[in-house]
Amino acid sequence: MAGSEPVHSLLTIFLKQPPSCLEFCPTAPNYLVIGTYLLQETKLEDSESPQQTKTGSVQLFQLDPKTPSLLQIQRIPLPHAVFDLHFSPRNPSIFAIATSAASVSLFRVQTSHDDNNKDAGTCPPHPKITPLQTISVHDDPTIPVLYLAWAPPAITLRRDASTDAFAVCFSDGQISIFNTNPPNYEFSTSEMSERQLLPTGPAIVEVWYVAFHSIHGNEAPLLFSGDDFGCLTAHEFSADRGDWTDGEFPLESLKTSDRGRYHGAGVTAILPLYSNETGTVLLTGSYDENIRVVHRTAAGKWEVFAEKSLGGGVWRLKCLDSQPSSVLREGAENEHSYLILASCMHAGTRVLRVSCLAGGESGSEDNTWEIEILHEFTEHESMNYASDVFRGNAGPGRQGSISKDLDLLVVSSSFYDMRVCVWKAGV
């Protein structure tokens, strides 16, 4: 970790339930949504095993970046715990949560400039979270949804401009892809189609993460998944538009796995960076505390270009910016740099720069990949599962320019101590 700089919190608050996920609102950049997960155990007289109850909430906070301060605006209690939440890339006022009750719930963040709030006399002073729909996504209601990934518009647009889709993965190894259908394109159990990717091995293995990837010039969508045995898998689907049979997502046409050769523990984060004629380059995070630059070749083979220990299990990875390295220093015209935010469980949060130093064709073995830890935040006293960056009017996590003088304002959380911190890091 030589060369990294520790940073200190500008603000710390404590919630009443453990935070499991958080994300800034794209349509209201000064607001963020936090999901919580509370496990309670009750001892029963006639049983040796305690009865477990999982509950949670979604909470809306306002961030004042100048003070800074965090003000809770709204809290919606839920009869289940929240594992994950993400805003839709197609409709950024909508977010979905993955729950402990085998369901996905949809919410809308309504702002004063929404169509239904155009009357200035009725404009609320703050955005408001409105529940929309809860969808059962597994036959067994006791199976938790571990992660949810929205399909990029580039994938669903190949079929219909109004179609939306998301993938979910489960603790029993199943992956399901749900998509909306004409004429109403509604998110509901009765009107959505499901494509199941069932586990094929003899053992039940949790699938911790799924990530869609769209390859420019290729009609076949990709879905990457990572499981508890350390296996990274690529699922390819038919490229034929006609294979959206009866409104269903295309059939899986090819499945390739690295067979757990490169990760020493479960794969908990997958972040595709780009694809070209040689294959796809992606970042992975693992319980084994390493971040890796992984290359899946066009022929379906796997290789690791670089890896680095971050000191804790790499639970989540978020790309904040992607730019040519020449923005950062002279003489780097053929290089590319990614600014990454990593939530590293018991080790806290890291700000990273991942750079490709070109030595040949992009994605080739002649390139050198470097992973640099710029900053580390270590004030969390338990698992850091969720972090995000305030990006002002540009919207959180939106692509912009990397600047030497840019200060990131980060909100990060930790689970058991129910801590939420605001801190600043210069990049």
- pLDDT, tens digit (0-9, with 9 covering 90-100), for 277-321: 889 999 999 999 999 999 999 899 999 999 999 999 999 999 999
How far apart (Å, rounded) are the C-alpha atoms in residues 268 and 289?
Answer: 10
Q: Which portions of the chain are predicted below pLDDT 70? A: 1-3, 113-124, 157-161, 216-219, 240-247, 325-334, 359-366, 393-405
Could you give the angle at the alpha carbon of 340 between the alpha carbons of 330 and 272, nearest 5°? 105
Closest by CA to 108, choosing from 76, 130, 91, 86, is: 130
The pLDDT, as a whole number, for residue 242 is 55
Other Cβ atoms less than 10 A from the Cβ of 34: the count is: 26
The pLDDT, as a whole number, for residue 277 is 86
Closest by CA to 74, choosing from 153, 128, 4, 140, is: 128
Pairing of strands 368-377, 5-6: parallel
How far apart (Å, rounded) are the C-alpha atoms in residues 175 and 204?
Answer: 13
The pLDDT, as a whole number, for residue 28 is 95
Domain boundaries, the chain: 5-41+50-394+405-426
The pLDDT, as a whole number, for residue 200 is 80
Which fold does the domain 5-41+50-394+405-426 belong to in CATH? Methylamine Dehydrogenase; Chain H (2.130.10)
